[in-house]
Structure 1
Amino acid sequence: MLDFRMKTFLTVCESMNFTHAAESLHLTQPAVSQHIKYLEEIYGAPLFLREKRGLKLTPAGEILRQALETMRNDEEHIKKRIKSSLVNQKSLTFGVTMTIGEYAVIPALAEFIKSHPETNFHIRYGNTQTLLSELREGIIDFAIVEGYFTSEHYETRNYQTEEYIAVCAARHQFQKPIRMLKDLTGERLLIREQGSGTRAILTKTLALKNMSIHDFQRIVELENIHAIVSLLCRDCGISFLYKAAVTEELKSGRLVQIPLVDFMVMHDFTFLWNKGSLFSDEYEHIFQELQKGGPF
């Protein structure tokens, strides 16, 4: 169980303001300051820098924040485990991004669920940034995500590598010959929302070519991968997606890959959990089981 002063520290980290933390904890500001001073004496390092714009974590403070967040999340996980044991059940909560959860992981997930009849599963869908936030907050135990993120806070494993392609309706008529990525900017772009890993990959790829999403004349932003695929099939624009998300449509001939000489992208789907978790061995086993598509 976290020491009450550690909980004060995490609360300050949320607002980066002693006064707000005191109000949230129903403490006086001097009490909050004393708690932080105690921790600084225990660990022998300052935890916050006081700047004009407010507080900022020191390197030592960032290390402590990361460790305590993992401890807090493990504590919540232990509580859930104990509660489940009272009714002789296990419970597992994890997150997957839309593309992964709807296309890439289903066969392995089906085998995993059938291999654990004693376990209740709670599977949350969200974009990459949402799932990373839920992982840090202890809402989920682990996640499988796409896109880019800072890996220093997580244990990561490469779940699989997928091709990322430009795609449009088979009957789509381009106004000019298409050879390079820049040739597509006159098209209507169907794209996922901010925070989506699918969007982040496109954004970074465009940036490497001194381009951006805003170079496209028309944009349709959607939060649902099925909606994007359906609109593509109805010839409402072009998009950039993982090939796994449109495999059936490509096979049936409703969609086609747009051939580009300067666009060849492969990207990882990443299995991850909070670094330093007490349950790291268990998550490692789950990763191995999902990769095999059956029990370990």
Structure 2
Amino acid sequence: MDSEIELRHLRYFVAVAEELHFGRAASRLHLAQPPLSQQIRKLEEIVGYPLFLRTTRAVKLTAAGEIFLERARRTLRSVIEDLAEARSVGRGELGALRVGFISSGMLTPLPSMLGEYRRKHPRVDLQLREGFSSEMTQALLDSLIDVAFLRDGGEVEGLEAETLSSEPFVAVLPAHHALAKSRTLSAAVLRDEPFVLFSPRAGRLAYEKTASLCEAHGFRPRVVQEAPQWFTVLRLVGAGLGVSIAPACIERIAAPDCVCIELSGTSVRSDVDLVWRKDEERAIVKAFCDLGREMLAQRHRG
């Protein structure tokens, strides 16, 4: 019999219990009094016991009615809270969001975007995961993360990508290098230099973009040392192990023992892409991507 109880029965009961008057309760519910009385009697039949003591002069709760009032209020509150939570999830304001990013992304507007997202969506459990572009790409394909910021991620089947920021490349030289005081230089002058670069396994397209700057002048970079992070690359360049070519943002972490010099005669740029799965339909991911586009548009307007 319990399955026959409907939310309207609970709302009607709470109104009568709080007013202790069928007429006032009916007015509060915008109902006629006879249908309200009928529904209360039906509820009492379902419960199996009277919930009200009715006399010509007053309406009072029975002991069963007092207990049921507490439970009915709790149930209605729970329904309201559940509806609000479901709507928040539907709007992308609640839940867990797993975001992957490459370390050089921390030198771009990415941290500002993440901070803005946390301010706008404080109830979202934002989980950040750092790694190479290749690692983040695979994590997306394996559904281990929901969205990622990649350095020149390229086209990957099953994934959608949108470029959020783009920057030129710079040459990175030891501070004591003969060309260190140059305002600009061509990659051609690096032909005979040893290079310190990240491994192509970290991101194939990013590596090939870097190499293409040298290939445009008829040579491939002679890599004598690979390094996993740009900070390490800079320290090794500063120590004199070689030169490098890097996205312009790394100048923010360059130490005094190395210099970053604008590369001339090239239109190749390094892109930071926002990437997600093509079959992704959740509002929480859409809201995150929308914020990325919004902040990008603001930067362009600025």
User: What TM-score range do you get, normalising by the shorter chain?
Assistant: 0.5 to 0.7
Q: After superposition, what is the alpha-carbon deviation per residue over 1:13-71, rounded to whole angstroms, capped at 9, x for unaligned?
A: xxxxxxxxxxxxxxxxxxxxxxxxxxxxxxxxxxxxxxxxxxxxxxxxxxxxxxxxxxx
Residues of 2 paired with 1:168 and 1:182: CA distance? 14
Residue of structure 1 in register with 2:281 after alignment: 278
Deviation at 1:256, TM superposition (A): 3.1
Residues of 2 paired with 1:146 and 1:199: CA distance? 10
Residues of 1 paired with 2:170 and 2:198: CA distance? 14
Task: Establish whether residue 193 from structure 1 lines up as the match of residue 195 from structure 2.
Answer: no
> Of residues 199, 205, 220 in structure 2, which corresponds to 1:212?
220
> Of residues 193, 196, 202 in structure 1, which corresponds to 2:210?
202
Residues of 2 paired with 1:125 and 1:200: CA distance? 22
Residues of 2 paired with 1:224 and 1:199: CA distance? 13
Q: Could you say what secondary structure the match of 2:200 adopts?
A: coil
Which protein is bigger by CA-based radius of gyration? 2
Q: Which amino acid aligns with 2:196?
A: L
> Of residues 289, 292, 297 in structure 2, which corresponds to 1:290?
292
Q: After superposition, what is the alpha-carbon deviation per residue over 1:100-119, rounded to whole angstroms, capped at 9, x for unaligned?
A: 14544112212222333222
Q: Which amino acid aligns with 2:173?
A: C
Residues of 2 paired with 1:146 and 1:287: CA distance? 17
Q: Could you say what secondary structure the match of 2:166 adopts?
A: strand
Residues of 1 paired with 2:295 and 2:264: CA distance? 35
TM-score normalized by structure 1? Answer: 0.58
Structure 1, 106-115 or 198-207: larger mean CA deviation:
198-207
Deviation at 1:163, TM superposition (A): 1.5
| Alpha-carbon spacing, 1:278–1:89, altered in 2? closer, same or farther (3 Å) | closer
Q: Would you say the 8 A contact 1:92–1:120 is kept in 2?
A: yes
Deviation at 1:261, TM superposition (A): 4.0
Q: Could you say what secondary structure the match of 1:108 adopts?
A: helix
Residue of structure 2 in register with 1:137 after alignment: 142
Residues of 1 paired with 2:116 and 2:166: CA distance? 20
RMSD over aligned CA atoms reads 3.3
| Alpha-carbon spacing, 1:144–1:166, altered in 2? closer, same or farther (3 Å) | same
Q: Which amino acid aligns with 2:292?
A: L
Residue of structure 1 in register with 2:162 after alignment: 157
Task: Establish whether residue 170 from structure 1 lines up as the match of residue 175 from structure 2.
Answer: yes
Residue of structure 2 in register with 1:44 after alignment: none
For structure 1, the residue ranges without an aligned partner over 5 or more in a row are 1-81
Q: Could you say what secondary structure the match of 1:140 adopts?
A: coil
Q: Which amino acid aligns with 1:160?
A: S
Q: Alignment length, in residue pairs?
A: 203
| Alpha-carbon spacing, 1:186–1:208, altered in 2? closer, same or farther (3 Å) | closer
Q: Would you say the 8 A contact 1:161–1:267 is kept in 2?
A: yes
| Alpha-carbon spacing, 1:232–1:103, altered in 2? closer, same or farther (3 Å) | farther
Residue of structure 2 in register with 1:222 after alignment: 227
Residues of 1 paired with 2:100 and 2:169: CA distance? 21
Residues of 2 paired with 1:130 and 1:189: CA distance? 24
Deviation at 1:260, TM superposition (A): 4.5
| Alpha-carbon spacing, 1:259–1:278, altered in 2? closer, same or farther (3 Å) | closer
Residue of structure 1 in register with 2:188 after alignment: 182
Q: After superposition, what is the alpha-carbon deviation per residue over 1:254-274, rounded to whole angstroms, capped at 9, x for unaligned?
A: 543345544442232111111
| Alpha-carbon spacing, 1:241–1:179, altered in 2? closer, same or farther (3 Å) | closer
Residues of 1 paired with 2:217 and 2:295: CA distance? 38
Q: Which amino acid aligns with 1:203?
A: A
Residues of 2 paired with 1:94 and 1:138: CA distance? 11
| Alpha-carbon spacing, 1:127–1:241, altered in 2? closer, same or farther (3 Å) | same
Residues of 2 paired with 1:163 and 1:268: CA distance? 9
For structure 2, the residue ranges without an aligned partner over 5 or more in a row are 1-85, 297-302
| Alpha-carbon spacing, 1:103–1:171, altered in 2? closer, same or farther (3 Å) | farther
TM-score normalized by structure 2? Answer: 0.57
| Alpha-carbon spacing, 1:291–1:253, altered in 2? closer, same or farther (3 Å) | farther
The within-5 A match list for 1:264-275 is: 264-275=267-278
Residue of structure 2 in register with 1:117 after alignment: 122
Residues of 2 paired with 1:132 and 1:102: CA distance? 20
Residue of structure 2 in register with 1:236 after alignment: 241
Q: After superposition, what is the alpha-carbon deviation per residue over 1:169-217, rounded to whole angstroms, capped at 9, x for unaligned?
A: 3332359x9954233132221101223344232134444554323xx2x
Residues of 1 paired with 2:291 and 2:266: CA distance? 34
Residues of 1 paired with 2:128 and 2:146: CA distance? 10
- Percent of residue pairs bearing the same amino acid type: 16
Residue of structure 1 in register with 2:95 after alignment: 90
